[in-house]
Structure 1
Amino acid sequence: MASFIGLVVNKLSVAPMMDWTDRHCRAFHRVLAPNARLYTEMVHAQAVIHGDRERLLGFDVSEHPVALQLGGSEPGLLTEAARIGEQFGYDEINLNVGCPSDRVQAGRFGACLMKEPDLVAEGIAAMIGAVKIPVTVKCRLGVDELEDYDRFCAFIDTVAAAGCREFIVHARKAWLQGLSPKENREIPPLRYDWVHRLKIERPNLVIVINGGLSTVEDSLEQLAHVDGVMLGRTAYHEPYRLHQLDAAISGGVQVSREALLRRYLPYVEVQLAKGVAIKHISRHILGLFHAQVGGRAFRQILSEGAPRPAAGIDLIERALAATQSREHAA
């Protein structure tokens, strides 16, 4: 990581993913990628203000650097939520201007805010004025028929004028009607060239690229054009890929899947002692042995055993042993 215009820029980060990047997932990803910046699931500003803060915002100290992603559009609510996030110890506040789901649109936040750059700028300015940690934006290239590079740049410029120095760009537009969130991650074409051009034309901004990155080679190639890469579903479904990329970027040494899992077990034991059911933790490690000998057995043992009330740390040991016995047999 390096300093850039007062920011600490992480060349690698893991995307905020609803129902996936909870605190147990992030603790696992930290073991895999010691140098990556981690993001929470999107939390609406009103939930931060009025909800169970420890459940919504609590995190393990090992997760640093970790960012809180907020949803919302009302500057006053965003400001209060940002203050709370800073008090909880988060290293960054990120505003979601990219999620295209119907529920998000109904609340006037997420990708539909690409149509309201002045409102986004107002919220960003309010948060920047309220906290000392960086305030960043995650956005798309545009929405619906508003697919124009100059319009995209105008959005960036408007928000940057409010003080935002870092933009994480999912290099696709979003369709607000007619496509599911999953389809919006796959159907609109990727336009990496728009993000590369943005970095060339706005060199004083930190630009991180997201969308469609699935291999170490693809991600490293992107770093020749932008300041950072953000992995999403690949990091979740094939977590060892996240470890490989972190090692490649940082010059670190790759370690085995078993060694990584054993580094995670102390965290698991602490959580189990607190009364957390193992099923809430084990679901995040199912892909660790993706495409490896014994990987199917590993997933099966965890998936079938985790819902049982008496399941404990021995379940993970049995799953790990299954990968080793099949590896030796092969």
Structure 2
Amino acid sequence: MKSDICRNARLSVAPMMEWTDRHCRYLHRLMSRETLLFTEMVTSPALVRGGALHLLDFSPEEHPVAVQLGGSDPMELAAAARICEEHGYDEVNLNCGCPSDRVQSGAFGAVLMKSPELVADCVTAMREAVDLPVTLKCRIGVDDQVPRDILPDFLEKISAAGCTRVTIHARMAWLQGLSPKENRDIPPLDYDLVFDMKQAFPDLHISLNGGVQDLDTAVELLDRGLDGVMIGRSAYHNPSDVLLEADQRIYGADTPAKTPATVVHDMLPYIENHLATGGKLHQITRHMLGLFAGRPGARLWRRYLSENAHQSGAGADVVLAALQQLPPPEDV
């Protein structure tokens, strides 16, 4: 495994459908040089049978970036992993945690927690197909499973298959009776179980996901002995508080943290290029709405972008005008 990716995985932004697209990742990379970024989940059938290679497009500036695959057929996942490697990704991650109906109907995602042998076969096939790190994201269990009974066996099997890094969402997934949104909040968090798994599998790189809202909590969890922390919705809705000081606090960088206003200006060339190639402004600015969350003028920033970025012909001047709604940069 690439040691730099292990280091980057001390903090990661979770793969989130319809959120962590290439524009979101570019924004996040401007905010943190080190944090590991993930794509939205891409299904192996879409790549191998559907030829939807555009789903893998990304900018070189996004590195280090991991692609998350959804699937349950070992050979198809191996073929998809090869495609991802050819596109230049730094890591391939297998989704064993998503509880959505669409994922269940495809026999992958969280339902794979019930089939650890199949998951091990998938890991083996993918590892044999690529030189990239093959990692995994899972829940602590699903439905009527008893996490303390099944999670050690699950981790044992994937470890034996050669997976050396796993992110554990520290909640059960209830595949019947709860929506995907409810599955992110209602099942109780069990951080103690994740810490126990780290003790039981000291050679396994374990990151914790679920309920982490800020850098203070991430630092605390790392200090207690975890190898990594993955942050999801908070990193999207409040990226400045999560990412702007991540390089300094998580990775020990001695460079000064950027301000949100600086990030906006740094995004302008990317925005101009996107518009020049036929893109729409709102495709990027929808990811920028939370840049000033909790700061003076945040509501005015969000409102201006929301009302104007969808307008026909909207350009980078809209972003600059939104910035003018804020207090002077030295106060932001």
TM class by shorter chain equals over 0.9
CA RMSD of aligned residues (A): 1.9
The answer to whether 1:234 aligns with 2:242 is no
Q: Given that residues 40 and 69 in structure 1 are in contact (C-alpha distance below 8 angstroms), is that contact kept between their aligned partners in structure 2? A: yes
Secondary structure of the residue aligned to 2:173 is coil
Question: What is residue 14 of structure 2 aligned with on the other side?
Answer: 15
Deviations 1:165-221 (A, max 9, x none): 000111111000111111111111111111111111211111111110002211100
Query: Structure 1: any 5+ residue segments left out of the alignment?
Result: none
Length-normalised TM-score, structure 1? 0.95
- The percentage of counterpart residues that share the same residue type is 49
Q: Given that residues 8 and 64 in structure 2 are in contact (C-alpha distance below 8 angstroms), is that contact kept between their aligned partners in structure 1? A: no
The CA distance in 2 between the partners of 1:268 and 1:52, in whole Å, is 28
Distance 1:240 1:326, change over 3 A: closer
Secondary structure of the residue aligned to 1:152 is helix
Q: What is the letter of the counterpart of residue 88 of structure 1?
A: H
State the 4+ residue runs in structure 1 displaced beyond 4 angstroms. 2-9, 325-328
1:142-161 equivalent positions in 2, closer than 5 A: 142-161=141-160
Question: What is residue 173 of structure 1 aligned with on the other side?
Answer: 172
Shift, 1:265, TM fit: 1.7
Question: What is residue 281 of structure 1 aligned with on the other side?
Answer: 284
Length-normalised TM-score, structure 2? 0.94
Q: Given that residues 171 and 187 in structure 2 are in contact (C-alpha distance below 8 angstroms), is that contact kept between their aligned partners in structure 1? A: yes
1:282-301 equivalent positions in 2, closer than 5 A: 282-301=285-304
Deviations 1:109-146 (A, max 9, x none): 00000000000000110000000000000000000110
The CA distance in 1 between the partners of 2:94 and 2:50, in whole Å, is 19
Shift, 1:246, TM fit: 3.5
Q: What is the letter of the counterpart of residue 308 of structure 2?
A: G
The CA distance in 1 between the partners of 2:195 and 2:314, in whole Å, is 48
Secondary structure of the residue aligned to 1:125 is helix
The CA distance in 1 between the partners of 2:6 and 2:26, in whole Å, is 23
Deviations 1:21-80 (A, max 9, x none): 000000001011110111000011011123454420010000011111000101111011
Secondary structure of the residue aligned to 1:171 is strand
Q: What is the letter of the counterpart of residue 315 of structure 2?
A: G
The CA distance in 2 between the partners of 1:206 and 1:198, in whole Å, is 10
Q: Given that residues 172 and 187 in structure 2 are in contact (C-alpha distance below 8 angstroms), is that contact kept between their aligned partners in structure 1? A: yes
Q: Given that residues 141 and 171 in structure 1 are in contact (C-alpha distance below 8 angstroms), is that contact kept between their aligned partners in structure 2? A: yes
The answer to whether 1:34 aligns with 2:37 is no
Query: Structure 2: any 5+ residue segments left out of the alignment?
Result: none
Question: What is residue 163 of structure 1 aligned with on the other side?
Answer: 162
Secondary structure of the residue aligned to 2:172 is coil
Q: What is the letter of the counterpart of residue 229 of structure 2?
A: V
Shift, 1:3, TM fit: 6.2
Q: Given that residues 294 and 327 in structure 1 are in contact (C-alpha distance below 8 angstroms), is that contact kept between their aligned partners in structure 2? A: no
The CA distance in 1 between the partners of 2:182 and 2:260, in whole Å, is 31
The answer to whether 1:25 aligns with 2:24 is yes
The CA distance in 2 between the partners of 1:177 and 1:196, in whole Å, is 28
Q: Given that residues 10 and 228 in structure 2 are in contact (C-alpha distance below 8 angstroms), is that contact kept between their aligned partners in structure 1? A: yes
1:249-288 equivalent positions in 2, closer than 5 A: 249-252=250-253, 253-288=256-291
Question: What is residue 323 of structure 2 aligned with on the other side?
Answer: 320
